[in-house]
Amino acid sequence: MRNSVKTHAAGIVPPSLDSNDLITLGAAHFQSGCAHCHGAPGAPINPIAGSMLPSPPNLATSMREWRDRELFWIVKNGIKYTGMSAWVADQRDDEVWAVVAFLKRLPALDAAAYRDLALGGLPVPRKVAVKSRQPNAHRRR
């Protein structure tokens, strides 16, 4: 997998990823689309995601040393035979780069810094209740 990512990412030229606005946008994308599987500072990996094979890594504590272009390729294309899906908006490389900018900052964040960056200081949700749109949808009529 590492060699495949390296090969596919070889021709990608990363933009500057130092913008705080870019990092903040990436943090918001991470919170809404990635944290439920990968966890976040102050929020553990969802138990269902943790049971997947292979299980998604907790990027806040164990992010591998990937080059920026390799992270871009992984986020944009996903990883075959895992739960890591491709970026939903194929034409939005700017959003993918924002996530990469955030991922480079993530290992240095504690729970409070993560909340400030990703949620504007709001508490990190621990679990989300799922409600059916139709009451008693499971019952046959």
What pLDDT does residue 130 have?
45
pLDDT tens, position by position, 60-96? 877 778 899 999 999 999 998 888 988 988 889 899 9
What pLDDT does residue 135 have?
52
Contact 132, 46 (CB under 8 A): no
What the chain holds in terms of domains, given with CATH numbers, is 2-119 (1.10.760)
Overall pTM > 0.85: no
* Banded model confidence at residue 29, pLDDT cuts 50, 70, 90: very high
Helices (H), the chain: 2-9, 20-33, 35-38, 47-50, 59-62, 68-77, 93-105, 111-119
Residue 97 has pLDDT above 90, yes or no: yes
What is the rounded distance in angstroms from the CA atom of residue 65 to the CA atom of residue 82? 19
Tokens linked to 89? 């908006």
Contact 124, 117 (CB under 8 A): no
43 by DSSP, 3-state: which? strand
